[in-house]
Amino acid sequence: MRRRQLAGAGGAACSAGPGASRPSGSSLPPGPSRNDGARPSGFDAGRSGFNATPPSAPSGFDAAREVRPYLAEPEAMPVGTPGKTGYLRLGFELDGEGRSILRDWERRAPLIVQQALYFDEQMPEMPCVYILSSGGPNVDGDRYEQHFVVRRGAFAHLSTGAATKLAGMRANYAGLRQRFDLEEEAYLEYLPEPTIPCRHTRFIADTTIRIAPSATLCYAEIYLSGRKHRGERFGYDLLSVRTRVERPDGRRLFGEKFLVRPALRSPETLGAMNGCDLFANVLVLTPPDRAEAIRARTHPFIDRERQLAAGIVRLPNDCGLAYRVLGAESGPVKRLVRDFCSSVRLAVKGKPLFEEFPWR
């Protein structure tokens, strides 16, 4: 589905894909279109790599050294087959009444967004959007891309409809590329449900964040050790997660990457997971004064009885904070993440995060 306008007329639109330099006030450039019977543009039919960026951009995931052992073509459905190349692009902006709206919306199955919801009683002007997938778990050879733009002064809450399941893989790997563009005074909460790798999963994620100095992003990710009740703790082959943060002019703020290959080196050691089954990583990119207010409200702790621990650290270049949580069960970890994100919203917007739905 291409460029559906949900409210108003005209207005700014999402910027270009990951190869672009920064958001602009122009309309959306041509993006990936739906393909009937043909492989989507940006996918090399002779290779298994993902490259939905312009030709001048860096090569896809196949260039990463850690995925080189997993470049065989899947037997069932080759890489690039329609239904295995999800794409989502969302753009938020303020309307004439000061309400934030989902102005631009482009998607390709299996990624689905139906509409923006306004159920938050604390902030009824904030759109809440849930990302769904019609394809079930991520399987061998899946390549997804997501691009979110929040224009000047706009705000939004993003989550997923359920946990992301990563199925076992025999030949290839699954990849996710994400890009976030936040303009001045923009505010975005990105709180997806946890990611659950199964036995022999190979997953690589690459996230680029371009954020203006006065904007705020609360970006969370939670990873499980696997389906531990089926005896699959750290039974996956590869988990590679990289995040890069920069200003709209391209000035680098910081980058981080964690690479887990349990067969080569167990993550269950002291100083890593040390018996825990969940790892939550929350990045808060915000101006220094807000970061200090958030940090003052956050208290690191280690609770050995509940197998729960949390810590907080300042990020380089005074760009924000990193909050990390380790735990044995998903419920307590998710609650800590939401409580921390609520303190972020209080510091920036003066209102707490809404209560989570009981069925989640």
Q: Once rounded to an integer, what is the mean pLDDT over residues 190-194? A: 97
Residue 170 has pLDDT above 80, yes or no: yes
pLDDT at 334 over 50: yes
The reported pTM is 0.82
Most confident range (mean pLDDT) of 24-38, 130-144, 210-224 is 210-224
Residue 48, number of CB atoms within 10 A of its CB: 25
Q: Give Cα separations from 137 to 163, 337, 353 (angstroms).
A: 9, 24, 29
What's the average model confidence in pLDDT over 89-95? 97
The DSSP bridge pattern shows strands 278-285 and 216-224 to be antiparallel
With 80 as the cut, is the pLDDT of residue 4 above it? no
**Mean pLDDT in residue range 39-63:** 40
Higher pLDDT residue, 70 or 57?
70
Query: What residues are paired with 260 via a beta bridge?
Result: 239
Beta bridge mates, 340:
none
Exposed/middle/buried for 65, CB within 10 Å: 0-12, 13-18, 19+?
exposed
pLDDT at residue number 269: 87
Amino acid 360: pLDDT: 67
Task: Output the pLDDT for position 210.
Answer: 98
Q: What angle do CA 68, 74, 79 make, to 5 degrees?
A: 80
Distance CA 262, CA 235 (A): 7
SS3 228: helix
Are residues 116 and 129 in contact, defined by beta-carbon separation less than 8 angstroms? yes
